[in-house]
Every structure is written in C-alpha cells, then in structure tokens.
Structure 1
C-alpha cells in the first residue's frame, strides 16, 4: 500500500502560514527587497502557475518565467538567487520546525511506501532540506513531489493523478494523510483521505482493510 503525506501541519506541526512568514523574512533579506514586495512577487507568480495550467512546462520553469516577466530580470538571475538561497539561508528555517514525531517515526518503521505529497511549490533542493528538517531522509520516500517533476499543485486533483500515473499505482491502493481541504482533494481521484489529527499508527492497517479489502 502507498501513503501520500503532506508536510506543513502534517509531517511537521508548524502551520504553512507560520513557515511562510519566517521564509519571506529571510528571503527579503537575501534579495534586498521589502518583505511585502518579495511576498507579492512570489505569491502572484505562484497563483499564476497554479491557476493557469501548462503541462508542457514544469512548475519551476513556469515560476521562473512568471517572476522574470514581473520584474524585468532574467530567469537565470532568479534561478541563481533562489538556488543560492536554498543552499544557504534556507537552513535558518530548521530552528522553527516542530516535528510530528508520531508520524515521522511511523514512516521510519513502516513497510508501507510513502509519497512526499506536500504542495510542490519548492524546487528539489529545498524539498530535500524540508525533509531533513523533519528528521527524515529522501530514502524514506518512494516518490517525492517537487517543482521540477510536477505540472499541477493542490487542490487541483491533477496533482494526485499525475503522481499515480508516474508511479504506476491505482488510487485504490493509496491513502492521503494531511490537514487541509487541499489534501482532501485527493478523494476526487479516488485516494482516501485521513486527517492527521485522526492519525494513529495502529489504525492504518485497519483503515486499509476497511476501505481496500
């Protein structure tokens, strides 16, 4: 069986809002722009790439194009800025992370195959660090969604459908653990959803037997 897992509010107890507040504070310092300006630039670009579908380009390519058009600076400029940021300053975020030990220990000690299904709004270098922040390793996951290998984002059900197609697994072999309606969108493609607040390791086998036997 395959278990999709969200990150913010799920693998870690931090809400996405708290994480992003600290993230943009650090990014603002990096790019030497007021926090409000870099926040609006990034979030407007994220909104654009998640609302306007273009399966011919991955989310990272589309993000770089979008922010480049908004600023008049090249895609290479923004690529290098973000790459350096994720190599260096991004590590400062580790100090605010509160790990959901019950879930991360379950992942480390289980024979299920886990899919890292946080919204793919970070490139691979950042995603791997986020996994490390949660005291996990990329090797703990059968598949990891990133900006580079994704063309859709939650709550678009195509995000889940694309992963199912890539790993060659039917929805009725999967479960999604998350904390928001974005994660519950998995049910639109047939992946059962369980709220992380109801997660108990001993109940996962029972849950699979109940719904997928």
Structure 2
C-alpha cells in the first residue's frame, strides 16, 4: 500500500487559472512597491529571481536565499529597504486576490479521505512563493494547513519542479520511500516528473496544464471528483 500522497495546490486542490492569477498578482505587487522601485524594473527582477530558483541545483542554499541573491542586486536595494513593504503586501493585499480562485469542497473531502485511510499528506506546490502566500492559498482552498505532514514553501525548499531532487526532498521529509508515494497534480510535465524517482502519479484534468509531449509516466488520471471516488473505494492507484 502507498503511504503518502503529495498534492499540488494551484489548479489541483485549489481550482484556478494560474496564468490569470500570476498576471493579477504581479500587477498588484508591482503597484505596491512603486514608491520604492520602478514597477517595470521590479517585475523584471522578480522574474529573474524566480528563474534563478527554478535553475538552482545547489542543495546548500534555500530557494529563499537564491531568490534574494538574484533579486536584490537587480533592484539595487538592501533587503530592509523593501521587505517590510513586501511583508505588508502579503499580509493585507494578497488575501484580496482570493477571488481569482474557485474553491471546491471536493478538495477537503479528498484530504479527509486520505487521512482517514492512513496516508500522510503533503502540499507539493512549486516553492517559488514565501510561506505566507502559500499558506494563504491553502486557506482559500478551504483546508487546514495543520493536517499536512509537509508543505513546500521557498523558505524550506532547495529545488523546484520539475527537478527530481524536489520530489526526493519531500520524500525524505515525509520519511516515506518514493515508491510508496503518489503525486497528484494538474501539470502534465511539472507534477508528473515525480515518476522520475519512482513515485506513482495521478493527473488531475479539471485545470490541466500541458506544455507538449510528456516525458513522464502517468499512472492514473481523471477529475478531482474521480480521484475522490477512487480514494474512497480504494480502487485504481489507491488499492
């Protein structure tokens, strides 16, 4: 029997149009810091910092540190000159973006069913956001963050999707071998990459992201509702 289920967040447990969300998020964040740094320069630096996290292969430095080392020199500011404003944004403005998501009660039902059947559960969202932003989106999904054995955020992660090291790190944190884990996500490339280290994969089709031909195994697929039925009935990947 599989012992842990890793769940992607955006587009999986939290239905949303990710591109629309990112566009609005970037616009609001750039507006918030406009009195400190030119919004266009800020946006370029933010993307550069994100790209640096995605490319990183150094397991001695967190995604947070990688981001800061790339981002701050580009905006030519010390951390203390801009971080209080960013913190204020995440505390007060970011929650107002919840309207860009479409929460479903099935997400909570899925998590409750997994826990009832003895699985460890983890939120395996791409850790390019700070903890406060990811935990806020977990709240949007109608979920209690305390039930998860691990949640990937940029403060506690060293890699990003689709790198195998990202999934191996979660496996290590859960103390469950990869072959006893199931990765559930809506991204055919980034989430199904978990199969590269032996995890089983389930592709959620509701808000499917497919960038082209997949190189990874897909062991099961269907809607989140279909996944719930399989989980409750202990069928498919959940036998």
Change (3 A) 1:108 1:38: farther
Q: Shift of residue 54 of structure 1?
A: 2.2
Match for residue 25 of structure 2? 23
Match for residue 123 of structure 1? 130
Once residues 109 and 43 of structure 2 are traced to their aligned partners in structure 1, the CA distance between those partners, rounded to angstroms, is: 34
Of the candidates 218, 222, 229, which is equivalent to residue 202 of structure 1? 229
TM-score (norm 1): 0.91
- Structure 1 segments (4+ residues) deviating >6 Å: none
Of the candidates 67, 70, 91, which is equivalent to residue 66 of structure 1? 70
Greater CA drift, 102-111 or 150-159: 102-111
Q: What does 1:78-157 align with in structure 2 at a 5 Å threshold?
A: 78-111=82-115, 112-157=119-164
Greater CA drift, 21-30 or 97-106: 97-106
Local SS of the residue matching 1:182: coil
Q: Shift of residue 133 of structure 1?
A: 1.0
Q: Which runs of 5+ in 1 are unaligned?
A: none
Q: Which runs of 5+ in 2 are unaligned?
A: 206-221
Match for residue 196 of structure 2? 188
Cα displacement string for residues 175-204 of structure 1 (whole angstroms, at most 9, x for unaligned residues) = 111111100110001111111121421213
What's the Cα RMSD here? 1.7
TM-score (norm 2): 0.82
- Does structure 1 retain, via aligned residues, the 8 Å contact 2:120–2:174? no
Cα displacement string for residues 81-128 of structure 1 (whole angstroms, at most 9, x for unaligned residues) = 322211111111112210133233211343232110010011111111
Of the candidates 159, 167, 171, which is equivalent to residue 164 of structure 1? 171
Greater CA drift, 150-159 or 110-119: 110-119
Local SS of the residue matching 1:150: coil
Matched, 1:173 2:173: no
Of the candidates 41, 46, 67, which is equivalent to residue 45 of structure 2? 41
- Does structure 2 retain, via aligned residues, the 8 Å contact 1:55–1:151? yes
| Alignment size in residue pairs | 210
Local SS of the residue matching 2:157: coil
